[in-house]
Amino acid sequence: MSGGDGAFVVLVTGCSDGGIGCEVARAFALRAPPLASGRDTVLVFAAARRGPDAMKSLAGIPNIVRVPLDVTDPASIARAMAEIDRVGGGGLDVLVNNAGVGCFGPVVEAPIATVRHVLDTNAVAPLALTQALLPLMLHPRGTRSPPAASEPVARVLNVGSLAGALCGPFGGVYSASKAALHMLSSALRMELRPLRVSVCTVLPGGVVSNIARGSAVAFDPARSLYAGLARFIYARANASQSARSTPTADMARRIVDTALRPGYMPASMTYGHLSTFLTFLSRLPYWLSDWLLMRNYGLWPPSSFMIAPGAK
């Protein structure tokens, strides 16, 4: 399908089967473009690092184009941008920065190469992609009248996490990467507003996704000082994936509803299992939230499984 001037063009990253991005792409494809956009159809570019083979569930949907995209690779970004420019008619209306990777384990034992990879994927890459695609977002297409001043010319949604607002034990690297994304997203929201680009930070709670399966577990029980807490560390890696986690499709619909609402998007959008409780917990004084989280993950009171400094 070619977008031309009549398509409302969307790019969603991190669209591997079973994840949030996959369902966001599907939800966009089923929707009509905003009336104020003047577009006739929606054209969705669904992107994943491993390409179409990772997005088999999206095959056959006529208004979805599956593209390979490694968000940490400038050459891959350039190729995806060229494809969007060619097929999408020279513009981009919505960018959903969803691609990301998890990392769980004690921060003090995390390999620095892993830390850099997580920060690069979760924080630097969304900024790099936004920078690269901004010309397409600002480029007028066709002869249609521009949107009214109350409407943005493009929208960027950065999928962060409530873990970026509340850092617990054994998730510090992931939380740091999402906190960095939140701050970059806030700066983009203010700096792009005069250019009529609306930016929203999405803060999922517990939502069914691939985050646990795709996580780097920076923990070796055979060598770790925290070997006695192995069950807590593995529980932290899967904390957002429980029987009560919000279905992926529900989260996707909320994201699409936010992106297609009239006018500028809110600064942030929070949704998902335990999101209200986690937001409340993030606003407690540190002494209280630290105590609650340390108790929950076996760090309080200090126990005999901890190796004292200098012990052999």
Mean pLDDT, rounded, for 127-154: 82
User: In this structure, how many other beta carbons lie within 10 angstroms of the beta carbon of residue 173?
Assistant: 27
pTM assigned to the model: 0.92
Question: Which residue in the list 174, 226, 271, 297 is annotated as catalytic?
Answer: 174
Per-residue pLDDT at 217 exceeds 50: yes
- Predicted local confidence at residue 241, as pLDDT: 81
Comparing C-alpha atoms, which of 155, 151, 172, 154 is closest to residue 163? 172
Per-residue pLDDT at 105 exceeds 50: yes
Per the annotation, the verdict on 174 as an active-site residue is yes
Comparing C-alpha atoms, which of 136, 178, 180 is closest to residue 159? 178
- Say what percent of the chain tops pLDDT 90: 79
Per-residue pLDDT at 310 exceeds 50: no
pLDDT, the chain, mean: 91
Comparing C-alpha atoms, which of 115, 128, 28 is closest to residue 80? 128
Q: First CA to last CA across the chain, in angstroms?
A: 66
Instruction: Give CA–CA dist 169/173, Å, rounded.
Output: 10
Q: What count of Cα atoms within 13 Å lies in the side-chain half-sphere of residue 298?
A: 17
Contacts (Cβ under 8 Å, ≥6 apart) of 244: 206, 273
Comparing C-alpha atoms, which of 110, 167, 306 is closest to residue 227? 306
| Higher-confidence position of 216 and 161 | 161
